[in-house]
Chain A
Amino acid sequence: MNGLLLSLRRILVILTKELTQLRRDRTTFGMVVMIPLIQLMLFGYAINTNVRDIPVALVDQSNTALSQVLAQTVEATQVVRFTARYAEVSEAQAAISAGQVRAALIIPSDVSQRVARSASVSPRLESPPATDEQTSRPVAQWLVDGSDTMIAAAIKGLRAMPLAELLRRPANRMTPTFEVALFFNPESRTAINIVPGLVAVILTMTMVMFTSAAIVRESERGNMEMLINTPVRPLELMLGKIIPYIGIGLVQTAIILLLGHLVFAVPLDGSLGALAVTTLAFIGASLALGLVLSTIATSQLQAMQMTVFILLPSILLSGFMFPYEGMPVPAQYIAEILPATHFMRTIRAVVLRGAGLHEVAFDTLWLVGFMLVGLVVASLRFKKRLD
C-alpha cells in the first residue's frame, strides 16, 4: 500500500516536472496550438476531391457556330477551362505531354452531322435505336492525360453530357437507374469527411512526435544517468511522461472539431461522452506507440524519423485520403495495425453519423489494447542500466 502511494507520488512528480518543462519550452508549447490550427485551415480548404477548372486545350477542326457553342457548353460545366487553342491534334498532344494542359477536346470537321444524328437517336424523338456505326458515333473526342485518375474520372464524367441546350430543345429528362439518397453529407462537401479525419492525423503526428522524443531527450541531455540512479521504476517514468500529453491531445481535438464546426460547418452529431472515450483511447494508443519508438531511438533526430515513418501510412492507409475498402487486402492488414485506422472509423462514426459507444466498441477496445501492449513493451524495453 505504502509502495503504491510512493509510486503514485513519483508519477506525479515526473508529470509536474514534464509540465513545467513544457510550459518553458515556448516552441513546443506553440506547436500544441498552432499545428492543429494551421493544418485544419490548410487541409480544410485545400483538400477537395470535387475537381473543377481543369486546364484543357481545344482543337476545333470544324470552326462553325455549332462547334463554338459546343465548346462553351463544355466550359459551362466548370469541370474544365480552355486555356489553349490549337489547329492540329499533334500540337494538342504535345501540350498534354509537356503538362501545359491535362486534356484536349477534339471537335471534328463533321461535327454538325454528328450532332444532328445524335439528336435523331435521342429517345424523346422515338427514332430507331443507335445500333450501327453511323448513328452511334460520338460528337467529339477527349484526349486525356489519364495518369491522374481523379482528373480522368472528372472528364469521363462529361461523356454523357446532355446536349439539349445545343439543339435549343427542352432538357432531356433522363430517368436514372438508381435513386441515390446521400446521408450525413448531402452536399458532398469534402471538408465534412476531412475534418474529423484530421483529428486522427494531427493527433498521430503530435502525440507520437512528443512522446517519441520524451525518453530520448532525457538521454541526450544527460538526465537519464541521474534518473536511473534513483528508485524510479520504468513504468512510473513512462506514465509520468505521457499523462501531460493526454491533456494536450484533448485540447487539440477540441480545437479541430470546434473550428471545423464553426468554419466548415462540420456537424457534431455524436455524444460528447462517446467522443471523449474513443479519443482518449486513441491518444493513449499513440502515446504508447511514441514511447516504444522512444526506447528504440538513440537520438531525437531518429525519433523524428520514426515518427514520419508512422505518420505517412497513418495518412495514406488509414482511410483519411482514400477509402479503406478500396485498398488491396495486404494493405488493409497493414492499415489495421495502425491506431489511426481504427480511430478514423470511430471518430467519423461518432462525429458524422452520431454513433454511440457500443457501435464503435470494437475499434475503441482495440485502441485500449494497443495502448496497454505498448506501455508494457516500452517498460520492458526500458533498461535501468547502461549496458
Chain B
Amino acid sequence: MTEPVIEVRGLTRTFGDLTAVAALDLTVEPRTIYGFLGPNGSGKTTTVRMLTGLLTPSAGQVRVLGHELPRDAERLKRSIGYMTQKFSLYDDLTVVENLRFVSAVYGLGRRAARQRIEVLLATYALGPLRDRRAGQMSGGQRQRLALAAATVHEPPLLFLDEPTSAVDPQNRRDFWERLFDLVDAGATILVSTHYMDEAERCHRLAILKDGRKCADGAPAALMAAMGAHVVEVEGSDLRALKAQLAALPEVVSAAQLGSRLRVLVHERIPDPVAWLRAQPLNPMPTHLESVHPSLEDVFVTSTGDARA
C-alpha cells in the first residue's frame, strides 16, 4: 500500500472568535478524486488553503506529498496545482500568454513550455481560442483554461476549489472527464463543491458543515450506511402533510419535490412505509413508496440539516 498523498490530523483554523475548521482528520489516497461537500461557509476553501500552504493552521498536523506544512510550504508549491474558486489568471492576457506565463513561472524551459502548451491546448479544446483574451471568454472556456494552467507543470496533486460553479451541465460533464483522465495518468485530485451530482462522481467524499467533518467515505458506502430510510409520499395537501411529518421525532426531514414529499425516517423504524401509514395524518397520503437514498439524503441526515 502506498503512502497517502494527504494526511491531516486535528486540523483547526480560527479567525478571531470564528472557528472555520475544527479538528479535521483526513486521509487522501493516491490516484483518487477526493471531494469536500458542504454548503457555503462550511470551511471548504479554508481547508484547501491550509493544505496548499496558503494559510497557517491554528492547530493540527498536515502532511502533503511527504512535506510537513506549514514549514515546507515553498517546496510543496512545485508539486501541486491549484485552481482557485475565482478565476485568477489575467483577463487582459490571451490564452497562450497566460499559459506561457504560468509555465515560465514554474520554471519550464522554452521548448518544453511550447510543447506542453500545445498539448494543453489540444486536451482542453482551447486551440481555436489561443489568441482570445481570457476576459472575453465564457465561463466554461475560462474554467478549461484555469485547469490547463493548474496542470502546466504536471503536478501529482491538484486542488480544485469549486471548479464548476460558473459552468453549464454539459461543460461540467466534459470537465469531469478531463479530471478522470488526469487521475488515470497518476494524479490525485482534491475538489470542493456544493453540487451533489459533482460530489457523487468522487471516489471518496468528506461532508463538511460549520468546519466539522460530518461523514466521510465512498459515495455509495455513505448512501448505504446513511442511518435513515427514504420514503416518497404522495397526497393532496402536501404543505400541510409536510408540516405534520416534520413534527414527528422519528422523521429526520421532509422535503417537497414537485408533487411528492421525500421523507427521511430514522433507521430505528424497521418498516417505514407501514409506520407512516399508521400515523394519524390529515389528509392521509395517497401513495407511499420506499426508494433508494441519494447523496442529498446522506447530506441532510449527516449534517442534521433539515433545510426544507
CB distance A6 to B84 under 8 Å? no
CB distance B105 to A222 under 8 Å? no
Assuming the contacts A223-B90, A226-B89, asked whether A20 and B49 have C-beta atoms less than 8 A apart, the reply is: no
**B5 at interface, CB cutoff 8 A:** no
**B289 at interface, CB cutoff 8 A:** no
Q: Give chain B interface residues in 46-61, CB to chain A under 8 Å.
A: 49, 52-56
CB distance B102 to A230 under 8 Å? yes
CB distance A21 to B74 under 8 Å? no
How big is chain A's contact interface, by range? Answer: 20 to 34
**Nearest CB in chain A: distance from B67 CB, A:** 13
CB distance B105 to A10 under 8 Å? yes
**Nearest CB in chain A: distance from B143 CB, A:** 14
**B91 at interface, CB cutoff 8 A:** yes
Contact residues in A for B91 (Cβ distance below 8 Å): 221
Contact residues in A for B49 (Cβ distance below 8 Å): 386
**Nearest CB in chain A: distance from B278 CB, A:** 55
Instruction: Tell me how many residue pairs across A and B have CB atoms closer than 8 Å.
Output: 78
Query: Roughly how many angstroms separate A223 CA and B105 CA in the complex, as a whole number?
Result: 14
Assuming the contacts A384-B74, A386-B55, asked whether A226 and B104 have C-beta atoms less than 8 A apart, the reply is: no
A16-28 contact mask (Cβ, 8 Å, vs B): 1 or 0: 1100110011000
Assuming the contacts A17-B101, A229-B54, A385-B54, asked whether A222 and B86 have C-beta atoms less than 8 A apart, the reply is: yes
Assuming the contacts A231-B78, A231-B106, A231-B107, asked whether A387 and B88 have C-beta atoms less than 8 A apart, the reply is: no
CB distance A226 to B106 under 8 Å? no
Tally of contact residues, B, Cβ under 8 A: 31
Query: Roughly how many angstroms separate A387 CA and B15 CA in the complex, as a whole number?
Result: 9
A87-125 contact mask (Cβ, 8 Å, vs B): 1 or 0: 000000000000000000000000000000000000000
CB distance A387 to B55 under 8 Å? yes
Residue pairs across A and B with Cβ atoms less than 8 A apart, 20 shown, are A6-B107, A9-B104, A12-B104, A13-B105, A14-B105, A16-B101, A17-B101, A222-B84, A223-B90, A225-B82, A225-B88, A226-B88, A226-B149, A228-B54, A229-B54, A229-B77, A230-B77, A231-B74, A384-B73, A387-B55
Spell out B's residues near A (CB within 8 Å): 49, 52-56, 70, 73-74, 77-78, 80, 82, 84, 86-93, 97, 100-102, 104-107, 149
A225-B86, A384-B73 given. 18 additional CB < 8 A pairs? A6-B107, A13-B101, A13-B105, A222-B84, A223-B89, A225-B54, A225-B84, A225-B88, A226-B82, A229-B54, A229-B80, A231-B78, A385-B56, A385-B70, A385-B73, A386-B49, A386-B54, A387-B56
